[in-house]
């Protein structure tokens, strides 16, 4: 997780709080990974890469594809080495499609999408259960807690 954040931080094209969003996505993703028996390293890379290539904070069609291209670049440079080939392909597919509203795919991919969608409270949206992909993500208490986390003021970092 630290490696993913370290690699991605200088590449954020916008300072829109995506690092904080990524941290919450990873928090949700780690819990979902445990419950869905998915490799948490996939969720860590997804959390910090998937919005790293945004040009704006709107829909920005294409930012998932650019994030996947960035992942390929990191792989070729020997930086993103933790994932085996199958998980790396899942990471790229999850990022390419993450804002298209799909709800079905392999467990690793839908875990990534749910981890991201659980943080929709940051833009004033309460995640709708029918737009989430997995049973654990649809649990009302998890959604309620996720919204509270999204809306909580960011804690200041210690120096
Ligand atoms: Fe996101």
Alpha helices in the chain (DSSP H): 2-8, 18-36, 40-49, 63-76, 85-97, 107-117, 135-138, 140-151
How do residues 72-85 score in pLDDT, each as one tens digit?
Answer: 999 999 999 999 99
Report CA(74)–ligand 1 centroid distance (Å). Answer: 19
Report CA(11)–ligand 1 centroid distance (Å). Answer: 15
How do residues 79-111 score in pLDDT, each as one tens digit?
Answer: 999 999 999 999 999 999 999 999 999 999 999
pLDDT(124) > 80: yes
Report CA(21)–ligand 1 centroid distance (Å). Answer: 7
Q: Collapse the DSSP code of 26 into the 3-class scheme (helix H, G, I; strand E, B; otherwise coil) and give the result.
A: helix
Q: What angle do CA 16, 21, 27 make, to 5 degrees?
A: 165
**Contacts of 33-39 spanning 24+ positions with Cβ under 8 A:** 33/111, 35/136, 36/107, 36/111, 36/134, 36/136, 37/107, 38/107, 38/108, 38/111, 39/83, 39/87, 39/108
Tell me, yes or no, if the pTM score tops 0.75: yes
Percent of the chain exceeding pLDDT 70 equals: 87
Give the per-residue pLDDT at 159: 46
Report CA(52)–ligand 1 centroid distance (Å). Answer: 9
Q: Give residue 57's pLDDT band: very low, low, confident or very high (50, 70, 90).
A: confident
């Amino acid at each position: 997780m630290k490696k993913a954040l370290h690699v991605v931080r200088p590449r954020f094209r916008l300072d829109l709080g995506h690092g904080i969003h990524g941290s919450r996505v990873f928090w949700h993703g780690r819990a979902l990974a445990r419950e869905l028996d998915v490799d948490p390293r996939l969720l860590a890379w997804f959390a910090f890469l998937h919005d790293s290539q945004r040009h704006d904070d709107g829909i920005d069609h294409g930012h998932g594809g650019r994030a996947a291209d960035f992942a390929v670049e990191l792989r070729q440079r020997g930086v993103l080495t933790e994932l085996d080939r199958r998980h790396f392909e899942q990471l790229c597919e999850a990022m390419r499609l993450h804002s298209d509203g799909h709800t079905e795919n392999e467990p690793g991919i839908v875990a990534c999408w749910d981890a991201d969608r659980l943080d929709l409270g940051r833009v004033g949206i309460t995640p709708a259960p029918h737009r989430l992909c997995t049973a654990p993500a649809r649990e009302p208490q998890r959604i309620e807690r996720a919204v509270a986390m999204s809306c909580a003021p960011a804690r200041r970092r210690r120096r």
